[in-house]
């Protein structure tokens, strides 16, 4: 079981890597992962949350199964299967020792088939960003619509029409304005602050027609 934990920092999508303590590949940076504990875990998703909690001290409201990776070559110890998940979190304050964020477009060569797993996660996340509310899970609350739009743009790698973006967010109906709360600071009109509606903290909503074709 492996987890691709993603966040957005400095306008860049970043993946969390952990220095491995045991062989094989001790000392190398790799995805957080572990084995299922049959006594504790109700399923593999449970195991993924447990790994995030134990190794990083965090819970991820949004966790989605990515795919399973299997074969004789992925682990030097022999034939293996791993169920991979991905999780999205807002930028974190501090990380435990041995953990670090790495921008996804400048990753070191990863052990096992973790490179392929990250690639699959990126493809899934970018694809779903086109037609779902998935990116809201990367945005620290409360957030403004322009901030959220910047998150979408970072993921999609292209600029989005602001009018279309507002219409789409309205249609998705996943975020709600916080009554009376406005951003402040700049020498300009403040923006309405929003939060994710409770029922979509752990789920997402899709629309038929996405932001881009």
Partner DNA sequence: ACAATAGTGTCTGTCAGACAATATACA
Partner DNA sequence: TGTATATTGTCTGACAGACACTATTGT
Kindly give the pairing relationship between strand 175-182 and strand 62-71: unpaired
Q: Of the listed pieces 27-35, 67-75, 89-97, 179-187, which binds its own copies according to CB under 8 A?
A: 67-75
Q: Does 180 bind DNA (CB under 7 A)?
A: no
Among 57, 68, 190, 203, binds DNA (CB under 7 A): 190
* Residues near DNA (CB under 7 A), total: 25
**Rounded Cα–Cα distance for residues 41 and 34 (Å):** 12
Q: Of the listed pieces 69-77, 100-108, 157-165, 179-187, which binds its own copies according to CB under 8 A?
A: 69-77
Among 61, 71, 98, 108, binds its own copies (CB under 8 A): 71
Give which of DNA, its own copies, none residue 119 binds (C-beta under 5 to 8 Å, depending on kind).
Answer: none
Site for its own copies in 164-193 (CB under 8 A): none
Q: Give the CA count within 13 Å in the CB-facing half-sphere of 195.
A: 10
Among 70, 159, 161, 164, binds its own copies (CB under 8 A): 70
Give which of DNA, its own copies, none residue 186 binds (C-beta under 5 to 8 Å, depending on kind).
Answer: DNA
Q: Of the listed pieces 40-48, 149-157, 172-180, 187-195, which binds its own copies according to CB under 8 A?
A: 40-48
Helix, strand, coil shares of the chain as percentages rounded to 5? 30, 30, 40
In 18-49, which positions are buried (b, 16+ CB within 10 angstroms) versus exposed (e)? bebeeeebeebbbbbbeebeeeebeebeebbb
* Residues near its own copies (CB under 8 A), total: 21
Residue reference for tokens 């041995």: 98
Among 15, 30, 83, 118, binds its own copies (CB under 8 A): 83
The torsion angles phi and psi of 62, rounded to 5 degrees, stand at -105, 115
Assign residue 86 a region (left: φ > 0; alpha: ψ between -120 and 50; beta: otherwise): beta
């Amino acid at each position: 079981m492996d987890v691709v934990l993603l966040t957005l920092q400095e306008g860049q999508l970043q993946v969390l890597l952990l220095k491995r303590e045991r062989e094989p590949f001790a000392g190398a940076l790799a995805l957080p992962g572990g084995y299922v504990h049959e006594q504790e875990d109700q399923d593999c998703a449970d195991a993924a949350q447990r790994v995030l909690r134990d190794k990083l001290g965090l819970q991820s409201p949004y966790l989605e199964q990515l795919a399973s990776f299997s074969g004789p070559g992925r682990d030097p110890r022999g034939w293996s299967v791993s169920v991979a998940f991905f999780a999205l979190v807002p930028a974190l304050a501090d990380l435990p020792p041995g953990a670090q964020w790495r921008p996804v477009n400048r990753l070191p060569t990863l052990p096992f088939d973790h490179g392929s797993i990250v690639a699959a996660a990126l493809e899934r996340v970018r694809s779903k960003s086109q037609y779902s509310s998935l990116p809201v899970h990367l945005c620290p609350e409360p957030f403004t619509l322009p901030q959220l739009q910047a998150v979408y743009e970072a993921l999609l790698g292209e600029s989005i029409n602001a009018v279309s973006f507002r219409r789409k967010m309205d249609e998705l109906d996943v975020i709600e304005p916080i009554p009376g709360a406005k951003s402040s600071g700049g020498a300009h009109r403040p923006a309405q602050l929003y939060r994710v509606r409770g029922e979509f903290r752990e789920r997402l909503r899709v629309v038929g027609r996405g932001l881009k074709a």
